[in-house]
Amino acid sequence: MLKGIAASSGVAIAKVYKLEQPKVEIVKREADAAAEVKKFEEALEKTKADIEAIKERASKRLSEEELAVFDAHLMMASDPEFASQITAMINNDHVNAEYAASEVSTQMVTMFESMDNDYFRERAADIKDVTFRLKCNLLGLMIPDLSLINEDSIVVAHDLTPSDTAQLNEYAKGFATAIGGRTSHSAIMARSLEIPAVVGCSGVMEEAKHGDIMILDALEGEVFLNPDAETVQKYEKKAAAFAEEKEALKVLKTAKSITTDGHQVELAGNIGTPKDVEGVLNNGGEGIGLYRTEFLYMNADHFPTEDEQFEAYKEVLEGMGGRRVVVRTLDIGGDKKLNYFTFPEEMNPFLGYRAIRLCLDRTDIFRTQLRALIRASVYGKLCIMFPMIATVQEFRDAKAIFNEEKENLIKEGVAVADNIEVGMMVEIPAAAVNADNFAKEADFFSIGTNDLIQYSMAADRMSEHVSYLYQPYNPSILRLVKMTIDGAHKEGKWAGMCGEMAGEPYAVPLLLGMGLDEFSMSATSVLKARKMVTSLSKKEASALAEEALQLATAEDVLSLVKSRIDK
Ligand code: PEP
Ligand code: MG
What does pLDDT average to over the chain? 94
Residue 555 to residue 567: CA distance in whole angstroms: 18
Number of domains in the chain: 3
Kindly give the number of the ligand 1 atom that is closest to the alpha carbon of 270.
Answer: 5
Composition of the chain by helix, strand, coil, percent to 5 = 55, 15, 30
| 347 and 403 inside one domain | yes
Q: pLDDT tens across 28-55, in order? A: 999 999 999 999 999 999 999 988 888 8
| 278 and 419 inside one domain | yes
- pLDDT at residue 345, rounded to an integer: 93
- The rounded Å distance from CA 292 to ligand 1 centre is 9
In this structure, is residue 442 part of a structural domain?
A: yes
Contacts of 467 (CB under 8 A, 6+ apart): 5, 181, 182, 200, 459
In this structure, is residue 27 part of a structural domain?
A: no
Residue 458 to residue 372: CA distance in whole angstroms: 35
User: What CA dihedral angle connects 391, 397, 400 and 404, to 10 degrees?
Assistant: -150
- pLDDT at residue 464, rounded to an integer: 81
- The rounded Å distance from CA 300 to ligand 2 centre is 21
| 129 and 265 inside one domain | no
Provide the CATH number for the domain around residue 352.
3.20.20.60
Residue 119 to residue 72: CA distance in whole angstroms: 11
Would you tell me how many other CB atoms lie within 10 Å of the CB of residue 183? Answer: 24
| 492 and 538 inside one domain | yes
Tell me the whole-structure pTM to 2 decimals.
Answer: 0.80
In this structure, is residue 119 part of a structural domain?
A: yes
Query: Could you tell me if the CB of 334 is within 6 A of ligand 1?
Result: no
| 221 and 304 inside one domain | no
Question: Contact 183/168 with Cβ under 8 angstroms?
Answer: no
C-alpha distances out from residue 49 to 45, 125, 272, Å: 6, 20, 33
| 485 and 398 inside one domain | yes
| 205 and 282 inside one domain | no
Average of pLDDT values for 101-119? 89
DSSP 8-state secondary structure symbol assigned to residue 115: S
* Whether residue 158 lies in the annotated active site: no
In this structure, is residue 28 part of a structural domain?
A: no
In this structure, is residue 478 part of a structural domain?
A: yes
- pLDDT at residue 359, rounded to an integer: 98
Q: Where are the alpha helices (DSSP H) in 194-260?
A: 204-207, 229-249
The residue whose C-alpha atom lies closest to atom 6 belonging to ligand 1 is 448
3-state SS class at 544: helix
Task: Identify the domain containing residue 116 by its residue range.
Answer: 33-139
Q: 201, 359, 383, 498: which one is catalytic?
A: 498
C-alpha distances out from residue 154 to 15, 53, 71, 174, Å: 6, 23, 31, 5
Q: pLDDT tens across 493-511, in order? A: 999 999 999 999 999 999 9
| 264 and 320 inside one domain | yes
The residue whose C-alpha atom lies closest to atom 9 belonging to ligand 1 is 292
In this structure, is residue 265 part of a structural domain?
A: yes
In this structure, is residue 26 part of a structural domain?
A: no
Residue 359 to residue 365: CA distance in whole angstroms: 7
| 80 and 200 inside one domain | no
| 432 and 305 inside one domain | yes
* Whether residue 73 lies in the annotated active site: no
| 198 and 269 inside one domain | no
In this structure, is residue 398 part of a structural domain?
A: yes
Q: 73, 136, 185, 201: which one is catalytic?
A: 185
Q: pLDDT tens across 126-148, in order? A: 888 899 999 999 998 888 888 88
- pLDDT at residue 172, rounded to an integer: 95
CA–CA–CA angle 126, 130, 136 (5° rounding): 150
Last residue of a domain, one of 139, 159, 177: 139
Last residue of a domain, one of 223, 249, 275: 249
Provide the CATH number for the domain around residue 174.
3.50.30.10
Residue 8 to residue 192: CA distance in whole angstroms: 9
pLDDT band at 64 (very low <50, low <70, confident <90, very high): confident
Provide the CATH number for the domain around residue 98.
1.10.274.10
Going across the sheet that includes 153-157, the strands are: 2-3, 222-225, 213-217, 11-19, 153-157, 172-177, 197-199, 5-8
Residue 541 to residue 564: CA distance in whole angstroms: 10
Query: Could you tell me if the CB of 517 is within 6 A of ligand 1?
Result: no
Q: pLDDT tens across 163-219, in order? A: 677 778 889 999 999 998 887 778 888 888 889 999 999 999 999 999 999 999 999
- pLDDT at residue 287, rounded to an integer: 98
| 179 and 238 inside one domain | yes
Last residue of a domain, one of 221, 249, 277: 249
